[in-house]
A and B are shown apart, each in its own frame.
Chain A
Amino acid sequence: MKPAPFAYRRARSLEETVALLGEHTDARLLAGGQSLIATLNMRLSAPSLLIDINAIGDLDGIAHKGGTVEIGALTRHAQAEHSETIARHAPLIARAMPYIGHAAIRNRGTLGGSIAFADPAAELPACLLALDGEVDATGPQGKRTIKAGDFFKGLFETALGPQDVLTAIRVPAATVDTRVGFAELARRHGDYAIIGLAASARAAGKRLADVRLSFFGVGSTPVRARLAEAALSAGAIDAKRLDAAVAALDLDQHDDAQTTAAAKVHLAGVLLRRVAKQLLEART
């Protein structure tokens, strides 16, 4: 199918974008467009105006400063995938990057767009939650910061207001004791996951502390498995503790078109074992 007609405007500044969003209540922001244009083509979305924000300066770039890694909203997946700063200081995002779409998609898709779109089966929202990251947004009242735990509200629903523009995401820079893990299962490499898991932790001797397990593809938002986190943090990791963590997974699953609830619960355990192994590896 072809998109329904819409008007197109290339915004030159954040202020102009916020104002345009105020004037056109059904306008949509065009960043990488790799989800938006697909929904336009299928007429799942039919806005009257597309506001192209790609020409706004200062919205891309990756910077390591003050113990955090800040990634501009318009940073393309391919930029992050090949970034030395991401590889060294945000290793979870580096691990997730090759799973996001395909090379041609990663050349266009943006990190900010992926977070703002909040697809429950997407990798980056789960990474942001696992890392306890945050996002910057600019709206009519100026700039504010929203923690990942407060950002994802529901299916494709975030804390962003109708006139807000997500401008950057920030995650804590990895330290020597940071451990991360990432795994997902998809029918074809690059497709949306049937289920996936992004995790971070702190190595403390033979134990793991501050374990954060963020599953995606299991609900309307990324979901933390808090009981399994507690089980993994309770002592030195051995086969028994891993079994206990898997048994503690309390994901509320329902059958969907592709996968039964029982299969998803089983796969969650498979992923937890794979990711736990990664969390126990020394940082390279």
Chain B
Amino acid sequence: MSDRTLDISLTVNGEPVHERVEARKTLVDFLREDLSLTGSHVGCEHGVCGACTVRVNGEIVRGCLMLAVQCDGAKVETIEGISDSGEVTDLQTTFEQRNALQCGYCTPGMIVAAQDLLKRGGVPSRDEIREHLSGNYCRCTGYHAIVDAVEAVAQTRAGGKQ
């Protein structure tokens, strides 16, 4: 099995995928180039910006710091699947209402990271929201509005008023 290309089987957004990939291909490049799932963005390619955040086996990871071959047998979810399922509709709507995006480049990663925090339940403090999103860069520097949006969704989900 020592080779530069390998066969992998995995589930992406609930659908089985069988592909032959180069060992050196990162997960996010595989998703974008081989599967045309371009919602996950490639920013810094060294784990700093968070634009490539996806879920692997339910946990958020950097799509640029995992290889596609490491996902053999894994369950991968991208912003496409996570938004299609309706899981983050309230986050998406509130980001729009609160102007929590300008260029939108960081938004898929922000939504996936924010949902990772919110699905734990409860209403996190603004500091906790900032800390959890600390791995996601927004270069339009709209962090304040992003924290507002995430906090508002947390409150709504917890039954409070937005």
Contacts and interface: CB of A to CB of B under 8 A. Distances in A.
Nearest to A46: B24
Nearest to A42: B46
A102 B64 contact: no
Given A5-B24, A8-B23, A33 B132 contact: no
A3 B116 contact: no
A158 interface: no
A8 B23 CA distance: 6
Interface residues of A, number: 34
Interface in A172-193: 188-190
Interface residues of B, number: 34
15 contacts: A2-B45, A8-B4, A8-B69, A37-B26, A37-B64, A37-B65, A38-B65, A78-B59, A98-B131, A101-B47, A104-B113, A105-B135, A108-B61, A108-B62, A188-B134
A5 B134 contact: no
Given A98-B131, A108-B66, A188-B134, 19 more contacts: A2-B24, A2-B45, A5-B22, A6-B24, A7-B4, A8-B4, A8-B69, A34-B47, A34-B65, A37-B26, A37-B66, A54-B70, A102-B135, A103-B113, A103-B116, A104-B53, A105-B65, A189-B131, A190-B134
Interface in A1-46: 1-10, 30, 33-34, 37-38, 40-42
A6 B66 contact: no
A38 B47 CA distance: 7
B1 interface: yes
A6 B23 contact: yes
B18 to A, nearest CB: 17
A2 B29 contact: yes
A8 B24 CA distance: 8
Given A2-B29, A42-B46, A102-B134, A8 B2 contact: yes
Contacts of A49: 2
Interface string A101-130: 111110110000000000000000000000
Contact of B3 (A7, A30, A42, A190): A7
Could you say which of B62, B65, B132, B136 has the most chain A C-beta atoms within 10 Å of its C-beta? Answer: B65
Contacts of A3: 24, 26
B70 A52 contact: yes
Contacts of B26: 2-3, 37, 41
Could you say which of A5, A41, A52, A103 has the most chain B C-beta atoms within 10 Å of its C-beta? Answer: A103
A104 B23 CA distance: 22
A107 B67 contact: no
A8 to B, nearest CB: 4
A50 interface: yes
Contacts of A10: 1
Nearest to A54: B70
B108 to A, nearest CB: 13
Contacts of A50: 23, 67
A10 B7 CA distance: 13
A38 B46 contact: yes
Contacts of A5: 4, 22-24
B60 A107 contact: yes
A184 to B, nearest CB: 14
A6 to B, nearest CB: 6
Contacts of A1: 45
B6 interface: yes
A10 B1 CA distance: 8
B50 interface: yes
Could you say which of A1, A7, A52 has the most chain B C-beta atoms within 10 Å of its C-beta? Answer: A7
